[in-house]
Amino acid sequence: MHTRRTPRRTRTAAALIASAALLLAGCSSGTPTTSRAGSPVAGAAAALAPLPGSTPAALAPYYAQEPAWRDCGVPGFQCATVKAPLDYAEPSAGDVRLAVARKKATGPGKRLGSLLVNPGGPGGSAVGYLQMYAGIGYPAEVRARYDMVAVDPRGVARSEPVECLNGPAMDAYTRTDITPDDEKETEALVSAYRTFAEGCGAKRPELLRHVSTVETARDMDIVRAVLGDEKLTYVGASYGTLLGATYAGLFPERTGRLVLDGAMDPSLSARRLNLEQTEGFATAFTAFAEDCVRRGDCPLGGKGTSPEKAGENLTAFFEKLDARPMSAGDADGRELTESLATMGVIAAMYDEAAWQRLREALTSAMKESDGAGLLVLSDSYYERDAGGAYSNLMSANAAVNCLDLPPAFESPDDVRAALPDFEKASPVFGEGLAWAALNCAYWPVRATGEAQRIEAKGAAPIVVVGTTRDPATPYRWAKGLAAQLSSARLLTYDGDGHTAYGRGSACVDAAINTYLLKGTPPADGKRCS
């Protein structure tokens, strides 16, 4: 499964690929796990155990690095490279080089240290997010007091990126039919998953075994030390909440002010994550449909049309595309397929500010047989540029997710058995997202992680933020994570879209800013709108 962060002021990272199994990942292991009482509990997710408080001698050189900061080519920002061990179990086996960027505190006021940010994914470039949004768009009072810092996780963007397919091959992959009607189409989908997985495994097999969330969290501790901070201050969105929570679980005594916005629940299996996220997209679509039919330009129905009927109308449109793709005026000759149209609609579910654009794109496609608008939405979601090149977002997303958790499904028969549950969760998106969850079954590297609770006993207060109609990280996940973390403070945003900080709620922003600047967390259970 896979989540992403999409701020209003700029779009950053994360793609859902033709696969919801690429959507999210549960927390990977790599350390002993115990129950709350200290012993395994049958049938329940074990708890992530903290690492020893002292730094092992073999890792000391990594913690003692002094970064050579240089100009990034982006005014106001500096960049550096920090090394981490490829394999924490064998630090002598080689390094990974991590790209780090910062924008120093501008003042006035006493500097509070470094504030690391991560936009989610997995696979989103934190450096790109910092330079395009956080370093210039976070509240001025926060940027005045903190050095704003980002590190691209291992395997992502500037940090030794995982690469699976070239542009033309990715074009073929993203248009693969993810609602197979017969055995031939099922075989084509399985073949596409195998081709993608083989491409990933062929280029950097050693890296592919070491891009887990636990390893990236350990990398963050090296970066924290290199920056000279005693504790980590961090804002993570979407998948970035799993990364931040994992850090707190591994290093509770080094955990400072953490904000986990659009939270994930690490105790859930891949299948459960995919099913509940499917419900999240259904909730978001209902909100979109209710808004759409109140307007005069809604192609899914007029005033009084129920969300259910609007969904039926959209499903009928998808079925027409399944039978006959639509012209999209694309320079490379691509047509709008059912899979690309579905991703275009899903892309707009992340932010209610995109609903007007979606209405216009659906109107052009459904009324005028022009698929250009939906194709643009889909391309932005996949991070495909006008020249036909893709970022490594989708490759890194799969690499992390398929390593972090055992696959949701092992075979097409498993998917078929689960279809009723997924279609009940979302009559519009359920079938496609169920088949999408099959991709990790063909991954060339066996999963090293497992679902587990994160308690982080001894950590400072951690602010967990949940949005009630979040499509990608359902609100129940925020409640689930907050119930696990021993020091959590749950902050609820009653609204639409994915994540809450910096998205228009003065109440949410004030609560988080106060926490970051003064160390005072909001009261547990505080609600904003």
Using alpha carbons, select from 144, 127, 140 the residue that is nearest to residue 223.
127
DSSP letter for 156, please.
Answer: B
Active site residue 426: no
For 410-415, the CB contacts below 8 A with 24+ separation are 410/441, 411/438, 411/441, 412/186, 412/190, 412/438, 414/438
Q: Collapse the DSSP code of 252 into the 3-class scheme (helix H, G, I; strand E, B; otherwise coil) and give the result.
A: helix
Alpha-carbon distance of 399 to 444, in angstroms, equals: 10
Residue located via tokens 């993608």: 196
19, 29, 238, 426: which one is catalytic? Answer: 238
Phi (first) and psi of residue 431, to 5 degrees: -65, -50
CA atoms within 13 A on the CB side of 144: 9
Catalytic residue, from 159, 370, 496, 498: name it. Answer: 498
Instruction: Read off the amino acid at residue 450.
Output: E
Amino acid at 209: R
19, 436 Cβ separation under 8 angstroms: yes
> Is 238 known to be catalytic?
yes
Q: Which of 221, 322, 404, 470 does the annotation list as catalytic?
A: 470
Residue closest to 329 by CA, chosen among 383, 386, 384, 382: 386
Q: Do 489 and 523 touch, CB atoms closer than 8 A?
A: yes
End-to-end CA distance of the chain, in Å? 28
β partners of residue 102: 78, 149
Other C-beta atoms closer than 10 Å to the C-beta of 354 total 20
Residue 2 a catalytic site member: no
What single letter denotes the amino acid at residue 410? E
- The residues annotated as belonging to the active site are 238, 470, 498
